[in-house]
Amino acid sequence: MTAARRPAQGRRRRFAPRGLLVTLALVLASVGGCDLAGPSPSSPSPAASPTGPSATFPSAGPKASATPRSSPTPRPLPSPSASAPRIVGATQTPCPGSTTTARRGSVTTGQSRNWAGYIVGVTKGHVTCVEGTWTQPKVRCPSSGQTSVAIWVGIDGSSAVGTMPDASATLAQTGTTGDCDDGKATYGAWFEFLPDLRQITPLSVPVNGGDTIWARVLSLGKGRFVATLVNVTQLLGATQAWTLRQPPLLTAEWVVEDPAASCSGSSCTFMTLSRFPTVTLNGAVTINGRRYPLRAVPFPYLRTSINRSGKTLASPTWLTSRGFSVTWKSS
């Protein structure tokens, strides 16, 4: 297991070679000035809030602090199995629990300033594991300027439909990025634990466009988490452990994100979203000891598109047995 150390201030690596520090601090938080609206599918207004009991998730719970310790049809993606080849640096182990197929909870459609994907909110019990798999998209780079896109899974990224965590909320997440810098594409793996880590921290896993990625965030109890990311194509992976105090364990996320370039007070600016081919995500979640496939969780879902200034930047398809796809629309 990779040693878990708090990175020294001012010395964290950046994925963009010369660019803005990419922050995946879930800038949908109200403290970051980035709101998440939840209109019904027929309502175009991003200011509308979802209605009805199916649109309500539990509140985020107590404030937390952290201390380090050690449209297209989705294509099926591989899941780990007992016969899978050995992964150097990590073990590709599915979320625990007996796999259960349940009647899917209701889906509320909303708009976000920088998230495209699905959130599951637990109305009874706790989320203890989330996993996901995707093929890292090959980003198309402009001849000049910087762009970025992040793909990740996480726990506790959202406290309720229509609101996101404030600066004291907990979050455990891991994923990949696809960045452009003056025509050159770069890819990387990372983890982030909030509120202690406000910037993404690289994982020692190489990533290329076209590689199959598997990621998992596991709660071990008493605030202990382990984030694991595996490059299935290259048979390389890494893990990172962390401890968060009083995590609510109430939501699970599968997200394609337009990262924030910076946030100051209640205002955030975003990177230009990298242009990417359609990416498919699939996965599973463990809730109250039962492992549910992404398509069949008996709790409310929130489905979000990235929308800013009335323009859709990326949008997800509806869930199928093969997960969902996110399509780039604009930057």
> Which tokens sit at 59?
């509140």
pLDDT at 83 (0 to 100):
60
Query: To the nearest whole percent, how much of the chain has pLDDT over 90?
Result: 63
- Express each pLDDT in 60-103 by its tens digit: 333 333 334 444 455 555 555 556 678 999 999 999 999 998 99
59 in a structural domain: yes
298 in a structural domain: yes
pLDDT of 57 strictly over 80: no
**Domain of residue 323, residue span:** 30-328
70 in a structural domain: yes
pLDDT at 84 (0 to 100):
62
pLDDT at 267 (0 to 100):
77
pLDDT of 235 strictly over 60: yes
Query: To the nearest whole percent, how much of the chain has pLDDT over 70?
Result: 71
55 pLDDT band, cuts 50/70/90, is: very low
Higher pLDDT, 31 or 324: 324
pLDDT of 6 strictly over 80: no
- Express each pLDDT in 97-148 by its tens digit: 999 989 999 999 999 999 999 999 998 999 999 999 999 999 999 999 999 9
pLDDT at 106 (0 to 100):
94
Mean pLDDT across the chain, nearest whole number?
A: 79
17 in a structural domain: no
20 in a structural domain: no
pLDDT of 288 strictly over 80: yes
pLDDT at 195 (0 to 100):
84
pLDDT at 50 (0 to 100):
27
194 in a structural domain: yes
pLDDT at 86 (0 to 100):
85
pLDDT of 298 strictly over 50: yes
- Express each pLDDT in 149-170 by its tens digit: 999 999 998 865 444 444 456 8
What is the CATH classification number for the domain harbouring 134? Answer: 2.60.120.700
Give a three-class secondary structure readout of the chain: CECCCCCCCCCCCCCCCCCCCCECCCCCCHHHCCCEECCCCCCCCCCCCCCCHHHCCCCCCCCCCEECCCCCCCCCCCCCCCCCCCCECCCCCCCCCEECCCCCCCEEEEEECCEEEEEEECCCCCEEEEEEEEECCCCECCCCCEEEEEEEEEECCCCECCECCCCCCCEEEEEEEEEEECCEEEEEEEEEEECCCCCCEEECCCCCCCCEEEEEEEEEECCEEEEEEEECCCCEEEEEEEEECCCCCCEEEEEEECCEEEEECCEEEECEECECCCEEEEEEEEECCEEEECCCCCCCEEEEEEEECCEEEEEECCCECCEEEEEECCC
Q: Tell me the mean pLDDT in the region 37-50.
A: 32
Domain count, the chain: 1
23 in a structural domain: no
pLDDT of 17 strictly over 90: no
2 in a structural domain: no
Higher pLDDT, 246 or 11: 246
Q: Tell me the mean pLDDT in the region 202-231.
A: 98
pLDDT of 48 strictly over 50: no
Q: Tell me the mean pLDDT in the region 164-185.
A: 83
pLDDT at 330 (0 to 100):
96
pLDDT of 281 strictly over 70: yes
